[in-house]
């Protein structure tokens, strides 16, 4: 779906999320949401905060699982996705902190595999993700599933692509400070969500969006795996769609 601009598109995505939350709350159930970081979802989170403040949208019945976190990364570090999520969403709404899940970048190497398995099991025990939102990196990564990721991959420790580290350099005050690894939900984890929305805004994303939507399905561009799903929607603005 192509919207004229990112704000209109972000509001539409926020409305989808709000509708899931309201439907689940009415039924007395929890909404289980897969969330993303990066610049892309910020306007969606802004709109959710507005809906909370102005239209009484409550997050009391919401459980969240974030896609990824840098490794190593202290949860309180400025560049951590934990801080990002608190800044851009969680500290502004009435979500119970116990219902927030973000991969732990401060674990010792030996503890990562167990943590990742438990992350998957927690999602499954809740009946799976109702919705997973995604941005897209210029390597075609979703979450931090870089080129080479397998379609059935689960939550795991991965190495970041050089292009991804270049793109993050600004946030870290230089590429040398960008962690070389991350913990990410897998392609298989993402695929299990009942609904998937990939968002992309701006001309900078146009070339990779074209590959993701129209390119050959390949591990070289992990977002192309989404072509195999019948429950995915690409929500983009005209600028990102300009090469399609």
Positions touching ligand GLP (CB under 6 A) are: 36-40, 67-68, 135-137, 143-144, 164
**Rounded to the nearest 5 degrees, what angle is found at the Cα of 133, between the Cα atoms of 198 and 118?**
130
How buried is 134 (Cβ within 10 angstroms: 0-12 exposed, 13-18 middle, 19+ buried)? buried
| Distance of closest approach, residue 95 Cβ to ligand GLP, in angstroms | 20
Q: Which of 176, 160, 69, 161 is nearest to 112 (CA)?
A: 69
**Residue placing its CB nearer to ligand GLP in the complex, 24 or 156:** 156
Q: Is the dihedral of CA 143, 145, 147, 152 positive or negative?
A: negative
How far the first Cα of the chain sits from its last, in Å, is 12
| Distance of closest approach, residue 214 Cβ to ligand GLP, in angstroms | 19
**Residue placing its CB nearer to ligand GLP in the complex, 99 or 164:** 164
Contact 179, 70 (CB under 8 A): yes
| Distance of closest approach, residue 94 Cβ to ligand GLP, in angstroms | 25
Neighbour order of strands in the sheet with 68-71: 68-71, 181-184, 156-159
**Residue placing its CB nearer to ligand GLP in the complex, 24 or 237:** 237
Catalytic residues: 146
**Residue placing its CB nearer to ligand GLP in the complex, 39 or 117:** 39
Q: Which of 189, 179, 37, 59 is nearest to 118 (CA)?
A: 189
């Amino acid at each position: 779906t192509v919207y004229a601009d990112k704000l209109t598109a972000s509001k539409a995505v926020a409305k989808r999320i709000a509708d899931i939350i309201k439907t689940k709350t009415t039924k007395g159930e929890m909404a289980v949401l897969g969330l993303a970081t990066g610049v892309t979802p910020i306007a969606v989170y802004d709109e959710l905060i507005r809906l909370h403040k102005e239209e009484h949208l409550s997050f009391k019945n919401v459980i969240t699982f974030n896609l990824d976190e840098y490794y190593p990364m202290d949860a309180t570090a400025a560049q951590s996705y934990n801080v990002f999520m608190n800044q851009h969403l969680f500290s502004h709404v009435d979500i119970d902190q116990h219902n927030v899940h973000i991969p732990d970048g401060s674990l010792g190497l030996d503890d990562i595999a167990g943590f990742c398995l438990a992350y998957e099991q927690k999602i499954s025990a809740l009946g799976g993700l109702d919705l997973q939102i995604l941005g897209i990196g210029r390597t075609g990564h979703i979450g931090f599933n870089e080129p080479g990721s397998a379609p059935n991959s689960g939550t795991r420790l991965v190495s970041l692509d050089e292009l991804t580290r270049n793109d993050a350099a600004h946030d870290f005050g230089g590429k040398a400070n960008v962690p070389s690894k991350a913990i990410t939900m897998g392609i298989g984890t993402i695929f299990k969500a009942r609904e998937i929305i990939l968002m992309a805004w701006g001309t900078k994303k146009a070339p990779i969006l074209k590959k993701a939507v129209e390119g050959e399905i390949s591990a070289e561009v992990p977002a192309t795996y989404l072509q195999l799903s019948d429950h995915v929607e690409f929500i983009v603005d005209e600028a990102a769609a300009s090469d399609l």
